[in-house]
Amino acid sequence: MQSWFLVLIGAQTITIILGLNTMLERYNAKLNAASQEVERQCLREENIPGKFSLPNYNLTEHFVGQIEHAKSVPRNAKCYLRCLYKKIGILKANLAVSMGPTPEYNRLLRECTQVAKEWAQKQSNGDECEFTYSFYNCLQESMVKCLTWQNECMSHPSVMDVKSCYF
């Protein structure tokens, strides 16, 4: 009797896990569809030719790849990133940024915002595309330095203070 009870509980557990997997797959499909719609909107708004209709092709990764690897970053990649930042609420009016309640990143965000504003002003009289490009680069460089520092500290836990990386 007890073994049947255990088998029943085991079967029910497997059913629950498989049900959760299906729910997660549906959620990810909806999220993926929503992000693809934002990507398509940015293509239209930035007048970028829509030759990106392959299934499971991530436009954001495409343009971020251009930003990270091209010797000369195309303007459409910068403007696409600006559009994306606006759509997801990072870039606000007057070159302001918001990344939600992240107090541990406040100093980094302020510094990168200032660096990006100066860059955009110097390059193009405050252009949002240049600002977003510079802001993205500043965050990337800062996070790489921070992660490198954290990895070094992991080998010496007694001196590790993760928050000092951001403050």
The SS3 of residue 58 is coil
**Per-residue model confidence (pLDDT) at position 31:** 54
Q: What's the CA gap between 133 and 117, in Å, rounded?
A: 11
β-bridge mates for residue 8, sequence order: none
Q: What is the value of pTM for the model shown?
A: 0.62
Query: Is residue 133 a part of any domain in this protein?
Result: yes
Q: What's the CA gap between 109 and 89, in Å, rounded?
A: 14
Query: Is residue 4 a part of any domain in this protein?
Result: no
Q: What's the CA gap between 76 and 51, in Å, rounded?
A: 14
Give me the CATH number covering residue 103: 1.10.238.20
How many independent structural domains does the chain possess?
1
Do 118 and 132 touch, CB atoms closer than 8 A?
Answer: no
Q: What is the pLDDT of residues 47-83, one digit of tens each?
A: 877 665 545 556 667 666 766 776 788 888 889 889 9
Which residues constitute the domain of residue 48? 11-155
Q: What is the DSSP string of 92-108?
A: -GGG-B--SS-GGGHHH
Q: What is the pLDDT of residues 96-118, one digit of tens each?
A: 888 766 777 777 778 888 888 88
